[in-house]
Structure 1
Amino acid sequence: MYTDKLSKYSEYAPLFLRLGVGVIFLVHGIGKLFSIGPLAVGVQNFSGFLAGMGVPAALVVAWIVALVETLGGIAILIGFQTRCASLLVAINIGFALILVHLKNGFANGNGGFEFPLLLFLATLTLLFMGAGKKLAIDK
Structure 2
Amino acid sequence: MRNHEVGTLILRVVLGLTFFVHGLAKFQGGIENTVGWFGSIGLPGFLAYGVAILETVGGIALVIGLGSRVISALFAILMLGATIKVKLALGFLGNGQMAGYELDIALFAMSLAIAITGSQLLSVDQLLFKEKESKGKSSAA
TM-score (norm 1): 0.82
CA contact (8 A) 2:69 2:114 kept: yes
1:54 to 2:29 alignment:
no
In the alignment, what sits opposite 2:70?
84
Cα deviation for residue 8 of structure 1 reads 4.8
CA contact (8 A) 2:83 2:101 kept: yes
In the alignment, what sits opposite 2:50?
64
Deviations 1:59-115 (A, max 9, x none): x10100001111111111111010111111111121111111111101156421111
Structure 2: which 5+ residue stretches go unaligned? 127-141
The amino acid of 1:49's aligned partner reads W
Cα deviation for residue 43 of structure 1 reads 1.2
CA contact (8 A) 2:13 2:63 kept: yes
Aligned residue-pair number = 124
In the alignment, what sits opposite 2:136?
none
CA contact (8 A) 2:12 2:114 kept: yes
In the alignment, what sits opposite 2:20?
26
Structure 1: which 5+ residue stretches go unaligned? 1-6, 36-40
CA contact (8 A) 2:5 2:119 kept: no
In the alignment, what sits opposite 1:42?
30
Q: CA separation in 2, counterparts of 1:51 and 1:136?
A: 37
Structure (1 or 2) with the larger CA radius of gyration = 2
List aligned pairs for 1:10-21, cutoff 5 A.
10-21=4-15
Q: Which runs of 4+ in 1 moved over 4 A?
A: none
CA contact (8 A) 1:29 1:65 kept: yes
